[in-house]
Amino acid sequence: MFDTGTTGFMLLATSLVMLMTPGLAFFYGGLAGKRNILGIMMQSFVSMGITTIMWFACGYSLCFSGDTMGGIIGNLDKAFMQGVDLNSPFAGNTKLPEFVFMAYQMMFAIITPALITGAFVNRVTFKAYLIFLVLWQLLVYYPFAHMVWGGGLLAQWGVLDFAGGIVVHAIAGFAALASVIYVGHRRDKQSPPNSIPLIAIGTGLLWFGWYGFNAGSALDVNAVTGLAFLNTDVAASFAAITWLIIEWRATKKPKFVGLLTGAVAGLATITPAAGYVSLPSAVIIGIASGIVCYMAVNLKNKMGWDDALDVWGVHGIGGCLGTILLGVFASKAMNGAGVDGLMSGGTTFFIHQVIAVMGACIYAYLFTYGMLMLINKITRVKVSESEEDAGLDHSLHGEKAYDEGAL
């Protein structure tokens, strides 16, 4: 009944996307100060547990079952996977079991809120973060996953997002900005990365996992799958080198962290367009990502926003830029299931992409800020000055990343 090749590929893609969350933990863990390594890594890993429980209980159903509230959210028809058995096919590709599609989408739900954590490293209590993790998915991630990928409001309006420009990066990035504005500055903003090799390991895992993130979003094995795979690598490479060159000119030294950050920016930016644009378009998107995301990080610094690990500049702006450039470069010649963008006369599609991503960013920002205000009435969101000075690894978790007394 099911195609073993397609099913096997999607299980592999699911595994690759799962690997991205530990990769993100390493990436953020390396960027954090040495007293906050475990705190930031734990925020990624705990999402793997809590999000999986939520996804099984109600998340999958709310994103991909039915259509309520005018297409904003799904229903609970498939809560606890009721009605789905071993022989249930995925409606979007009957060669694939629905269980596999459920697992694949679950990995996206796991990593999206984890992306936000890099912005407020060493400033948020673990209890508040757990509440945030649950509420943010219910009120922000699930609605946008449904509206874009579950046949909801934005999908009906013609908005496209191949693998998460809006659904993952834009809303996470602007939620991160709202979090930064709410919790305020770190007491020690000069805390350097504790381990650049750890950042490199995290980047490698993210880059590797991103092939499952983007190529797997074809939900099949065909030419579009290969196109998305290659576009992903090309955009990341061009963005990494673009960022390296710009920063080299500015600082007179080639920075390894800049190269790695540029690669992640390119990966985030190509995500919404990976399966809809040509290879030359992916080159342009990669170069644009390196320039625009670098400028966004500089703007953040000038504005005094203490986004510690540049989540807004890399993921938020990258997701927005990629969604808009999809509206420019999309081509039905590359993917018959897509549309033509502005360069091919698709003016209406371009306008819809711009409006959709702007609306998503505003929604994510406002809901996140309001959510943090609500959580603060339940439990303290920001750590005390003494906890921050001691580092969250010790003050909140009673552990430390390295045994400095070991031989």
H/E stretch holding 119:
none
Calculate mean pLDDT across residues 369-374: 98
- Across residues 267-283, what is the average pLDDT? 98
Token pair of 189 as six digits: 């903003």
Amino acid at 132: F
Collect all residues with Cβ–Cβ distance below 8 Å to 232 and sequence separation of at least 6: 210, 211, 213, 214, 215, 267, 270, 271, 274
d(CA 260, CA 240): 7
153 three-state secondary structure: helix
Which alpha helices (DSSP H) does 55-185 contain, by range? 60-64, 98-116, 126-136, 142-149, 153-156, 171-183
Contact 193, 244 (CB under 8 A): no
Residue 266, pLDDT score: 98
Longest dimension (CA), the chain: 66
Average pLDDT along the chain: 96
Average pLDDT over residues 88-93: 96
Contact (Cβ atoms closer than 8 angstroms) between residue 308 and residue 364 = no
Spatial separation of the C-alpha atoms in residues 102 and 116, rounded to whole Å:
23
* Average pLDDT, integer, range 88-104: 97
Give the model's pLDDT for residue 405: 60
- Give CA separation, 186 vs 22, 149, 351, 388, in Å: 25, 37, 39, 8
Q: Residue 295 is encoded by which pair of tokens?
A: 């400028």
pLDDT tens-digit map of 235-248:
999 999 999 999 99
For the chain, domains (ranges, CATH) are 4-81+97-380 (1.10.3430.10)
pLDDT at 406 over 60: no
Residue with tokens 């096997």: 8
- The candidate with the shortest Cα–Cα distance to 108, out of 174, 167, 157, 184, is 167
CA 368 to chain centre: 16
What integer pLDDT is reported at residue 190 of this predicted model?
75
**Residue 124, pLDDT above cutoff 70:** yes
Average pLDDT of the segment spanning 116-122: 94
340 membership: H or E segment, kind and range: none
Query: Rounded to an integer, what distance in angstroms lies between the CA atom of residue 328 and that of residue 344?
Result: 8
List of residues 6+ apart from 407 with CB closer than 8 A: none
358 is written with which tokens? 């702007």
Q: What DSSP letter does each residue of 234-255 carry, written as one string?
A: HHHHHHHHHHHHHHHHHHSS--
Q: What is the pLDDT of residues 311-360, one digit of tens each?
A: 999 999 999 999 999 999 999 999 999 999 999 999 999 999 999 999 99
SS3 7: helix
**Given its phi and psi angles, is residue 378 left (phi above 0), alpha (psi -120 to 50 degrees) or beta?**
alpha
Residue 92's CB is within 10 A of a number of other CB atoms, namely 13
Which pLDDT value is given to residue 407?
45
What are phi and psi for residue 294, nearest 5 degrees? -60, -45
* Distance (Å, whole) CA 321 – CA 308: 21
Tens of pLDDT, residue by residue over 23-68, are 999 999 999 999 999 999 999 999 999 999 999 999 999 999 999 9
